[in-house]
Structure 1
Amino acid sequence: MIRVKSRQKTEYGDFQTPIALAEAVCRLLRADGVDPGCVLEPTCGQGTFLEAAANVFSDVKRLVGREWNREYVAEARRRLGKVASNVDLAQADFFQQDWASLLNHQPGHLLVLGNPPWVTNSALGTLGSANLPAKSNFQNERGISAKTGKANFDISQWMILHLLESMPQQNCTLAMLCKTTVARKVLEQAWKTGMPTTNCSIRKIDSREHFDAAVDACLFVCHMKADKRSTTCEVYEQLDAEQPSSVLGMHSGKLVADQTALTRQKHLLTLQSNTRWRSGVKHDCRAVMQFERQGWSFVNGLGEQVELEPDYVYPLMPAGAVYRGEVKRTEKFLLVPQRRTGEDTTPIESVAPRTWAYLQKHAERLADRKSSIYRGRPPFSIFGIGEYSFAKWKVAISALHKQLSFRVIGPQDGRPVMLDDTTYFLSFRTKKEAVATAARLNSPEVQEFYQAWIFWDAKRPITSEILQRLKAAA
C-alpha cells in the first residue's frame, strides 16, 4: 500500500523548492538580465519561489500563483503577506486553468517560474490518478512505440510545453526546475514546431541535495521573442558554472547533444542508411526462457534442472558481458522457440517433445507476460528474432551502459550467439567483415560522431536510430 504522504509526492509532485535554491535561481536570472514586472508560478506550492522572487527582483510589481492544494495556498499567502508587490494567489487545477488569458494580461516583462511535478503519466495511471492532462498524442508516437512505453511522458513535459504555447510571443522568460530529459524533450518539440525561443540554457542541479531525489535535474531557461529565434541551448554542469560544457542543437529535426562535435564529423552523417541495426531477443520471462549451464544440464531462473533438445537452445551473451568485453564464451543460454516473429510454434511438439513439454509446463507464466505485444501471437512468442539473429558473426554494443564499445561476437561451439533486447548489433557472414566493421566503429572519428548525438543521462542512451545515422564505409 502506498502511504498517503508518498502518494501525494508521487501524484502531485509534492517536492517543495527550498528557499535557498529558489533564491539562487532568481539571483542567477537577475544576473542574466531578467528584470520582471510580473512573476507567475503555475504550481506554486507553499510559495517559496514567489517569496524568493519578491526578495531578489526589486522592481517586480505583481506576483501570481496557482496551486491545487488549498492548505498550501493559505501557507503561500502567509509567506507573501508582507511583500510590497501586488499578490494574486488562488486554488486552481493546472489542467483546467485558462493559461493563455492569465499569461497575456500581466504587466512588464513576464517571468514564468516554477517547479512542476516530476512524475510520468504511466505512474499516475498506475495510481489511478485523475491528475492528468486530456488524452492526446502530443509526441506523435504510434504503433509499437506506444505499446512498449516510448509514448510514456513526464507530466511536467506536457505542462511546460502548454505554458510555452500559452505565453506571449515576446518580452517573457520561462524558468523551470525539471528533469534534464524533460528540458531536452521540451526544446526538441518547441524547435520542431517553430516556437520563438532564444537564449535557452540548461543548468544542472544536485537533486539529491535539494530534493533527496535520485534523478538528473536542471534549471531550464528560455526566452520568447517573436523577432528572434534560435535552435541552440547552452548546457552548464552546475547551476553557477560560468562556461557551458556543451551546446545542444538541432539537425534535420533531431536533437544534437554536442553541436561542435557534429560540425567536425558531419561528413559521416547519413539520413538514408542502408545499415540495419537490430536489437536482441525480447521475451520478458527470464525465469523460464534463460538458463545457466551446470555440468551437462541447464538450470532455469526458478532453480529447475532442465533437459531440452539442442535445436531450440542457443548461447546467450548478456548486455553486461558485451559492455565489459567478456565475449569469448558464455555459460548463459536462451530458449528460442521461433526463427522469425510470428512464426507458428506448434511444430515444436513433434520435433522437440521435451522442449514442448517444458513450455507447456510454464504456459501460464508465459501467457501472463504484461506487454501487449504478445497478445494475439502464437503461444510462447518472442520478439527481436529473424534471420539476422542466426548469423554466426555479429558486432554488438550495450544500449544501457555509458560507453561506446563495439564488440565482435563469434559463434560458440558452432552455434550462433543470441543477444538480449538491451543490446544492438549488426550481423555478418564472415569474421573478417565483423572485425573490420568493429575497428571502424571504435575509431576516434566515429566515436566523436556518435558522442555528438548521445545523451548519456538517458535511460537508454544508445538507440538504433542514433546508430543508423552513420554513413556506411565506402
Structure 2
Amino acid sequence: MIRVKSRQKTEYGDFQTPMPLAEAVCRMLRADGVRPDCVLEPTCGQGTFLAAAANIFSDCKRLVGREWNRAYVAETRRRLSGTHCQVDLAQADFFQQDWSSLLKRQPGHLLVLGNPPWVTNSALGTLGSGNLPAKSNFQHERGLSAKTGKANFDISQWMILRLLETMPQQDCTLAMLCKTTVARKVLEQAWKSGLPIADSRIYKIDSREHFDASVDACLLVCQMQAAAPTTTCDVYEQLDADLISSVLGMHSGNLVADHRALARQKHLLDTQPTTRWRSGVKHDCRAVMQLERQGWCLVNGLGERVELEPDYLYPMMPAGAVYRGEVKQTDKFLIVPQKRTGEDTAPIESAAPRTWAYLQRHATRLADRKSSIYRGRPPFSIFGIGEYSFAKWKVAISALHKQLSFRVIPPQDGRPVMLDDTTYFLSFRTKKDAVATANRLNSPEVQEFYRAWIFWDAKRPITSEILQRLKAVD
C-alpha cells in the first residue's frame, strides 16, 4: 500500500508518540532516578506522553501541556480527566509562547518531556508554511546563509535549544524524542554556548517500529545543573541498555563521535594539519562529461557514440568502485578540459578539434548547470582540478559509503585515473609511497582514530576535515 503524507504531517511533523514508547521512556527515566513534581510537554499533541507520565510517576502533582491544534487539546483534556494530577492545558503557538516564564513558575522538580516536530525549515518553506521560528542565524552560519537565514535545519533543533536556554538551571530535566542528528547538533551548540548541562544521554530508538519513519532517532536526556556542567554524552543502543556504546564529546571546538576512542589514539591527532586531502573532479553534467567503453566505442550518458582525441580524455574511477576495491581497471572515462581551475578552455579547439566540437554540440547542457560556481568561468569549466589530479598514484576513499577502506589507485595504460567529487584522495609520485600510506591508513590504530570522529548516519560521513586531522608520518 502506498502511503501519502498529509500536509498536516509534513507541515507540523505530526508523528504522534505511541503509548508503549511513551511508557517505556517514562519507566526508563524513573529507573534512572527522575522523580518529577511537574511534567511539562511543550508540543503535547493528543496527550500520550502526559498520560504515560501520570501513570508512571506516582509523585507527579502537575501536568502542563501546550499544543497548537485545538482538537488535540480537547482530546488531551478528555484523556487526562481522571488523573490524580492538576492539569494545565492550553492552545498555544510554540514560537509565540513565553517559555521562560512558564517553565520558571512550575513547582519542584520539572521534567520537560516530549516529541517535537520532525520536519525541516526548508520543507516548510517549500509548503509556504507559517509554522516557523523568526529568521535568525541561530546556528552561527557564515557567508550568505548567515545573511539570509536560509541555512536548513530541523525545527525540533530550534525548539529544543530554546527550551534548554529558558529552563531553570537547577532541579530540571529535559527528555525529547528527536532525530539522532538533531540531538548531536543540540548538544554541540549547547556546549559551545556554555549552557549548564550537568549530564546528558542519548538512547537510540527504532523509528521504523514506532513511527514508520526511515530515520535514525533517539531520546535525548539532559540534566540541568549550573554548578557542574559537562561536555560529554553517554550513548546507549536502546532504552533498556545497561552498557554505554560510545561517548560523545567536544575536542578543540569539534564534536567527537567516540570520546574514549579519541583518548586512546590522541597521539595521532595533528593540531596543525599539513596533509591536504583533495576531492575529485566536479563537473555536474554526467551525461556529457562521462563516457563508458562499450566494445570498441565510447558512449555518453545520452546514448551517443563518441570519438574523441586522447588529449583531454582520462580513465575515471567512481566512488562506488573505490568502495568495492574494483580499482585495477575501469571502462569509464572523463573529459578533463582544464589542468587547473579557471584555465582558459579555448586551446582545446586547435589541440583537439573533435573534443571541441563535441563540447560545443552540448554547450547548452553545460551552460545550464545550476551551481553558481560555473558563472563567469570559461566554457566547459570543471572544479576540483589541479596538479594533484594528474599524479599517477593515488590513495582514495569514498566519502559516501560507511566503511573506512583506503584504496591504492594505480595509473591505467600510463594515464592517471580521475576520481569523482564524492571521493577524497592523496597524490603520490611512486607506487611505494602510495602503498605505504594506504597500509598506515588501514591500520587498526588509524581506523580507530578516524572512527572517533565519524558519525556514520551523516549524509556524507567522511569529510576532508576529518581525514586531515591525522598526523603525518615524520
Matched, 1:155 2:155: yes
Q: Give the letter for the 1:10 counterpart.
A: T
2:421 partner SS:
coil
- Distance in 2 between residues matched to 1:42 and 1:374, nearest whole Å: 46
Structure 1 residues 357-366 or 70-79, which shifts more?
357-366
Match of 2:67 in 1: 67
**TM-score between the two structures when normalised by the length of structure 1:** 0.94
For structure 1, list consecutive stretches of 5 or more residues without a partner in the other structure.
none
Alpha-carbon distance change, 135 to 349 in structure 1, aligned in 2, over 3 angstroms = farther
Match of 1:396 in 2: 396
Match of 2:321 in 1: 321
Q: Give the letter for the 1:450 counterpart.
A: Y
Q: Deviations over 1:211-249 (max 9, x none)?
A: 001111111101110101111111111111111111112
Structure 1 residues 346-355 or 62-71, which shifts more?
346-355
Alpha-carbon distance change, 374 to 8 in structure 1, aligned in 2, over 3 angstroms = farther
CA-CA distance at 1:453 after TM superposition: 1.2
Alpha-carbon distance change, 372 to 82 in structure 1, aligned in 2, over 3 angstroms = farther
Match of 2:102 in 1: 102
Alpha-carbon distance change, 386 to 144 in structure 1, aligned in 2, over 3 angstroms = farther
- Distance in 2 between residues matched to 1:152 and 1:343, nearest whole Å: 34
- Distance in 2 between residues matched to 1:445 and 1:146, nearest whole Å: 38
Alpha-carbon distance change, 54 to 271 in structure 1, aligned in 2, over 3 angstroms = same
Note if contact 2:140-2:146 (Cα within 8 Å) is conserved in structure 1: no
**TM-score between the two structures when normalised by the length of structure 2:** 0.94
Note if contact 1:141-1:150 (Cα within 8 Å) is conserved in structure 2: no
Match of 1:56 in 2: 56
CA-CA distance at 1:142 after TM superposition: 2.4
CA-CA distance at 1:83 after TM superposition: 1.8
Q: Deviations over 1:289-333 (max 9, x none)?
A: 211111332211121212222222211111111111110011111
- Distance in 2 between residues matched to 1:378 and 1:207, nearest whole Å: 48
For structure 2, list consecutive stretches of 5 or more residues without a partner in the other structure.
none
- Distance in 1 between residues matched to 2:100 and 2:239, nearest whole Å: 30
1:250 partner SS:
strand
Q: Give the letter for the 1:301 counterpart.
A: G
Match of 2:418 in 1: 418
Match of 1:117 in 2: 117
Alpha-carbon distance change, 343 to 42 in structure 1, aligned in 2, over 3 angstroms = farther
- Distance in 2 between residues matched to 1:146 and 1:383, nearest whole Å: 25
Matched, 1:437 2:437: yes
CA-CA distance at 1:392 after TM superposition: 1.2
1:247 partner SS:
strand
Give the RMSD, CA atoms, in angstroms. 2.2
Question: Following superposition of structure 1 onto structure 2, how do residues 56-455 of structure 1 map, counting pairs within 5 Å?
Answer: 56-143=56-143, 151-455=151-455
Matched, 1:36 2:75: no
- Distance in 1 between residues matched to 2:272 and 2:145, nearest whole Å: 21
- Distance in 2 between residues matched to 1:73 and 1:50, nearest whole Å: 12
Alpha-carbon distance change, 367 to 82 in structure 1, aligned in 2, over 3 angstroms = farther
Question: Following superposition of structure 1 onto structure 2, how do residues 450-465 of structure 1 map, counting pairs within 5 Å?
Answer: 450-465=450-465
Note if contact 1:388-1:427 (Cα within 8 Å) is conserved in structure 2: yes
Note if contact 2:157-2:186 (Cα within 8 Å) is conserved in structure 1: yes
Q: Give the letter for the 1:331 counterpart.
A: D
Note if contact 1:124-1:132 (Cα within 8 Å) is conserved in structure 2: yes
2:454 partner SS:
coil
CA-CA distance at 1:3 after TM superposition: 9.6
Q: Deviations over 1:17-41 (max 9, x none)?
A: 0011011101111111111122111
CA-CA distance at 1:144 after TM superposition: 8.6
Q: Give the letter for the 2:339 counterpart.
A: R
CA-CA distance at 1:150 after TM superposition: 11
- Distance in 1 between residues matched to 2:267 and 2:145, nearest whole Å: 30
Note if contact 1:394-1:410 (Cα within 8 Å) is conserved in structure 2: yes
Count of aligned residue pairs for this structure pair: 472
Note if contact 2:408-2:435 (Cα within 8 Å) is conserved in structure 1: yes
Q: Give the letter for the 1:203 counterpart.
A: Y
Note if contact 1:38-1:60 (Cα within 8 Å) is conserved in structure 2: yes
Q: Give the letter for the 2:408 counterpart.
A: V
Q: Deviations over 1:323-346 (max 9, x none)?
A: 111100111111222222233333
- Distance in 1 between residues matched to 2:155 and 2:14, nearest whole Å: 13
Structure 1 residues 376-385 or 298-307, which shifts more?
376-385
Note if contact 1:293-1:331 (Cα within 8 Å) is conserved in structure 2: yes
- Distance in 2 between residues matched to 1:64 and 1:472, nearest whole Å: 56
2:93 partner SS:
coil
CA-CA distance at 1:7 after TM superposition: 2.6
Note if contact 1:146-1:152 (Cα within 8 Å) is conserved in structure 2: no
1:213 partner SS:
coil
- Distance in 2 between residues matched to 1:135 and 1:441, nearest whole Å: 43
Alpha-carbon distance change, 80 to 349 in structure 1, aligned in 2, over 3 angstroms = farther
Note if contact 2:23-2:53 (Cα within 8 Å) is conserved in structure 1: yes
Structure 1 residues 339-348 or 248-257, which shifts more?
339-348
Q: Give the letter for the 1:188 counterpart.
A: E
CA-CA distance at 1:254 after TM superposition: 1.3
2:6 partner SS:
helix
Note if contact 2:280-2:418 (Cα within 8 Å) is conserved in structure 1: yes
- Distance in 1 between residues matched to 2:276 and 2:146, nearest whole Å: 22
- Distance in 1 between residues matched to 2:105 and 2:288, nearest whole Å: 61
CA-CA distance at 1:407 after TM superposition: 0.6
CA-CA distance at 1:143 after TM superposition: 4.2
